[in-house]
Amino acid sequence: MMDGYTDAISLTIEQDPAYEGYQYVEFQVQPEVEAHLRYSLGKLDWPPDEKGNMQERGVDEQDDVRLIPVLLLTSNVDPGDELASDYRLAVWPSESDADLFDIMIPLTPVGAGGAIRAFSGKLVFGTLPDTVVSLNLTGARMVWLVRGTTETPQVSTTVIARYQDRYRLTGLQLAKSSNYEFAIFYTPASPRENNQLFKLRTLVLDPCS
């Protein structure tokens, strides 16, 4: 855990060229101002307004504006469209370098007993090209997206602003997952012992059945 608060952090993960599988990077972050931990739970109302970019013309809803925490960083590897969709990642070419990718990771509250202690986010990559000797995640910043629903008069929802927040890293977990092949060899003493072998196979291959 980092004791000090910062605007951004960077992480370098050395790679094994022979490894084939998934890599998971899970962050746990805590904003410097403790009250910000509950910002993501609140819904804000926009008063009746028919001027400007943000308008409220119809029914007075109570969730016109919401604050959404995300972790925004730059990576030298693209997670790919399928993984980005599965883990709700937003990925686009970095404005600073055409060979890099900016990645937005959604953050969710973590805690117990109704008390929120931090935010958690997960990043995942598939098998990396042999040319990648290290996974470089740089400039990781905690950002609040201000999502607004406006009526002009059509109803639309969009990000109307974003604000960076100072934070500290309170947890970091790196994990790998890959395919594993195995076989079961068994010679029953009698035909009736096949039943136990079938049960063992079912337990190993389909533990939820």
Q: What is the mean pLDDT of the chain?
A: 83
Q: Give the phi and the psi of residue 152 in degrees, each rounded to 5.
A: -130, 40
Start-end of H helices in 48-161: 81-86
Does the structure show a pLDDT above 80 at 152?
A: no
Ordered by start, the domain boundaries in the chain are 9-181
* pLDDT (0 to 100) of residue 90: 96
pLDDT of the residue at 115 = 86
pTM (2 decimals)? Answer: 0.75
| Nearby residues of 167 by Cβ (< 8 Å), 6 or more positions away | 5, 6, 29, 30, 31, 32, 142
Q: With bands split at pLDDT 50, 70 and 90, how would you rate the model's confidence at 6?
A: very high
Between 26 and 204, name the one with better pLDDT.
Answer: 26
Return the structure tokens found at 132. 């990648």
Look at the block and give the residue holding tokens 């977990």: 173
Tens digits of per-residue pLDDT, 94-132?
988 989 999 999 999 998 888 899 999 999 999 888 888
